[in-house]
């Protein structure tokens, strides 16, 4: 039986919107597929397991940004290795921003980022607090956004195109760099959009030479998630799935 190790980075600091639960979503869907899956909470570099099959980084408050950056700094070389090796990584909100060149706060101060992805987070004219609907190659992704910054200078491809909401600004949302996926989507995003979770699991299993096939129990859960997405679509006068 294939065993997956899913890392949740700094869940005590980066879980403001429940985004650390994305790791549990991956693990549960893997178990429903008949696999063994373990979530490892990583608080320091010493906690990082030798074998990592997926990484989840959640979102935190601006007050926690310096602490999160300082905690992640000793792990930056390991994270770079995982990115190069094609390990799927999901970073949400400030967890994404801290991977960038830096974060410009509203008071003019700057939190230097880890430099793993191009671009930086900059103050937006107004805070984005709304449903966020994005078209991607994984289908429509739905969640909510709650951020005061836009994102500029990304040299990677966007995650998708904004149908409703703000995203990065200029009609784009998130970024992808190889198998690193960054987004403003909360919800948690993988619970609301299980097809995205399955894409990450497909990548993780392929590295083991295995093929991911979702389990039977996933179908019922997927129907619930689809109904929730369609409720939002109807409210926003968008086509349903």
CB 181 within 8 A of CB 202: no
- Coarse DSSP helix, strand, coil percentages of the chain, rounded to the nearest 5 percent: 35, 30, 35
**pLDDT value at residue 7:** 98
When pLDDT is averaged across residues 193-201 and rounded to a whole number, the result is 98
Mean of the per-residue pLDDT values of the chain:
96
Express each pLDDT in 48-74 by its tens digit: 999 999 999 999 999 999 999 999 999
Q: Is the pLDDT assigned to residue 156 strictly greater than 90?
A: no
The position carrying tokens 């430099």 is 115
Q: What are phi and psi of 215, to 5 degrees?
A: -80, 165
**pLDDT value at residue 154:** 86
The H or E element spanning position 68 is helix 65-72
**pLDDT value at residue 188:** 96
Q: Is the overall model pTM greater than 0.85, yes or no?
A: yes
Q: Which residues contact 52 (CB under 8 A, 6 or more apart)?
A: 5, 7, 82, 87
In terms of Cβ atoms closer than 10 Å to its own Cβ (0-12, 13-18, 19+), residue 125 is: exposed
Return d(Cα 190, Cα 142) in angstroms, integer: 10
Structural domains of the chain, ranges and CATH numbers in brackets: 3-214 (3.40.50.880)
Q: Is the pLDDT assigned to residue 1 strictly greater than 80?
A: no
Give the pLDDT band of residue 155 (cuts 50, 70, 90): confident
Q: Which residues contact 141 (CB under 8 A, 6 or more apart)?
A: 133, 134, 135, 159, 160, 183, 185, 189, 192, 193, 196
CB 123 within 8 A of CB 215: no
When pLDDT is averaged across residues 74-93 and rounded to a whole number, the result is 98
CB 10 within 8 A of CB 42: yes
Express each pLDDT in 7-33 by its tens digit: 999 999 999 999 999 999 999 999 999
**pLDDT value at residue 61:** 94
**pLDDT value at residue 86:** 97
């Amino acid at each position: 039986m294939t065993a997956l190790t899913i890392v949740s980075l700094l869940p005590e600091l980066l879980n403001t919107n429940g985004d650390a639960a994305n790791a549990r979503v991956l693990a549960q869907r893997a178990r429903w597929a008949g696999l063994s899956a373990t979530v490892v909470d990583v608080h320091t570099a010493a906690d990082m397991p030798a074998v990592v099959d997926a990484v989840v980084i959640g979102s935190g408050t601006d007050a926690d940004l310096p602490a999160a950056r300082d905690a992640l700094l000793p792990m930056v070389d390991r994270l770079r290795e995982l990115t190069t090796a094609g390990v799927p990584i999901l970073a949400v909100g400030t967890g994404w921003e801290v991977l960038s060149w830096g974060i410009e706060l509203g008071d003019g101060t700057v939190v230097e980022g880890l430099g793993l992805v191009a671009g930086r987070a900059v103050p937006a004219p107004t805070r984005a607090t709304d449903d966020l609907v994005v078209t991607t190659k994984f289908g429509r992704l739905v969640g909510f956004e709650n951020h005061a910054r836009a994102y500029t200078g990304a040299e990677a491809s966007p995650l998708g195109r904004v149908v409703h909401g703000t995203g990065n600004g200029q009609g784009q949302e998130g970024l992808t760099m190889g198998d690193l996926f960054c987004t403003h989507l909360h919800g948690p995003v993988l619970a609301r959009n299980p097809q995205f979770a399955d894409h990450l699991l497909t990548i993780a299993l392929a590295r083991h030479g295995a093929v991911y096939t979702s389990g039977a129990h996933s179908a019922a859960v997927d129907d619930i998630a689809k109904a929730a997405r369609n409720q939002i679509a109807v409210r926003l006068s968008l086509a349903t799935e």
